[in-house]
């Protein structure tokens, strides 16, 4: 089973990148006019992801925390090439603090954005590219070493 928060984050991430999402019996299907992705829960927080590429279907077995890095790479690709996970751990609050300094100031900015009913904001960043989409923070590593991550502001602490 995929954790409920991860499912919600996948839904919001898919929506952010203009992909439709369907929940079948034990599969999540994400698609748009270019991409077709199937997510199959496995054992012990492992996930099998199948996605289209120019020569067919690629299958990747990953741990659940790697799903955001893989999906963001698939969503953002220009051509139907295979994608690879970034080698390091996912970006986290320590990386945000290093990027933006005092997390309390970032939290104040996020609260102001949320209170203004802003659905999307590109918060920026030098190395940690940060976006707010509805109730999630999308973190991407500009130099491509750390895995992309999603922090759900409704369920995770910042």
pLDDT in tens, 105-152: 999 999 899 889 999 999 999 999 999 999 999 999 999 999 999 999
137: how many CB neighbours lie within 10 A of its CB? 22
Residues 21 and 64 in one domain: yes
Q: How many residues does the chain have?
A: 158
> Distance (Å, rounded) from C-alpha 128 to C-alpha 142?
6
95: how many CB neighbours lie within 10 A of its CB? 19
Residues 68 and 101 in one domain: no
> Distance (Å, rounded) from C-alpha 129 to C-alpha 108?
18
Say what the pLDDT of residue 102 is.
Answer: 87
Can you give the residue range of the structural domain that contains 52? 4-76
Say what the pLDDT of residue 157 is.
Answer: 52
Task: Extract the tokens encoding 35.
Answer: 């991409």
Q: Give the model's confidence band at 155: pLDDT under 50 very low, under 70 low, under 90 confident, else very high.
A: confident
Average pLDDT of the chain, as a whole number = 94
Give residue-wise pLDDT tens across range 56-85: 999 999 999 999 999 999 999 999 999 999
> What percentage of the chain carries pLDDT values higher than 70?
98
Check: CB of residue 153 under 8 Å from CB of residue 96: no
Residues 10 and 62 in one domain: yes
Backbone angles phi, psi at 97, to 5 degrees: -65, -40
Give residue-wise pLDDT tens across range 91-108: 999 999 999 998 999 999
Q: Which of 41, 76, 111 is the last residue of a domain?
A: 76
Say what the pLDDT of residue 41 is.
Answer: 95
Residues 9 and 55 in one domain: yes
């Amino acid at each position: 089973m995929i954790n409920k928060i991860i499912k919600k984050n996948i839904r919001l991430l898919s929506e952010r990148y203009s992909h439709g999402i369907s929940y079948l019996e034990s599969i999540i299907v994400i698609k748009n006019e270019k991409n077709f992705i199937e997510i199959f829960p496995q054992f012990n927080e492992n996930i099998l992801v199948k996605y289209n590429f120019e020569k067919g279907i690629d299958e990747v077995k990953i741990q659940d925390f790697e799903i955001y890095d893989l999906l963001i790479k698939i969503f953002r690709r220009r051509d139907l090439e295979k994608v690879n996970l970034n080698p390091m751990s996912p970006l986290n609050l320590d990386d945000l603090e290093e990027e933006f300094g005092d997390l309390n100031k970032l939290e104040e900015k996020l609260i102001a954005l949320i209170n203004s009913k802003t659905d999307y904001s590109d918060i920026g960043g030098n190395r940690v590219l940060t976006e707010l989409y509805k109730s999630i923070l999308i973190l991407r590593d500009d130099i491509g070493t750390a895995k992309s991550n999603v922090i759900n502001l409704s369920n995770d602490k910042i």
